């Protein structure tokens, strides 16, 4: 009985966190790094922050003052992050 209750609670928590990711946090820029939950990890590097690696799997996790930021996913793909406006 307790195992079923824990499994149900886990399912509800996973479902609610998925809805937050889909619908965002209501701000102008959608989801933030705090609400994004990625199944595939990654990190971000920016040309104006040499040697600093920022954990995140979405360009929204790049610093606001970051320039030349690139998202590096564990799959090996890279994506240039546009300049953030928020």
Split into its structural domains, the chain has a count of: 2
Whether residue 29 is found in the same domain as residue 64:
no
pLDDT at 86: 72
Whether residue 26 is found in the same domain as residue 49:
no
Q: With helix as H, strand as E and coil as C, how does 18-75 read?
A: HHHHHHCCCCCCCCCCCCCCCCCCEEEECCCCCCCCEECCCHHHCCCCCCCCEEEECC
pLDDT at 15: 43
Whether residue 56 is found in the same domain as residue 70:
yes
pLDDT at 33: 79
Whether residue 69 is found in the same domain as residue 86:
yes
Domain that holds residue 2: 1-37
What are the pLDDT digits (tens) for 17-76?
Answer: 443 444 444 456 677 777 777 777 899 999 999 999 999 889 989 999 999 999 999 889
pLDDT at 3: 53
């Amino acid at each position: 009985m307790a195992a079923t209750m824990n499994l149900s609670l886990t399912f509800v928590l996973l479902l609610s966190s998925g809805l937050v990711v889909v619908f965002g946090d209501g701000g102008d820029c959608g989801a933030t790094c705090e609400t994004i939950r990625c199944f595939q990890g990654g990190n971000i590097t920016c040309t104006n922050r040499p040697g600093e690696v920022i954990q995140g799997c979405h360009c929204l996790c790049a610093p606001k003052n970051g320039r030349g930021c690139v998202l590096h996913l564990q799959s090996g793909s890279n994506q240039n992050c546009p300049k953030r406006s928020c």
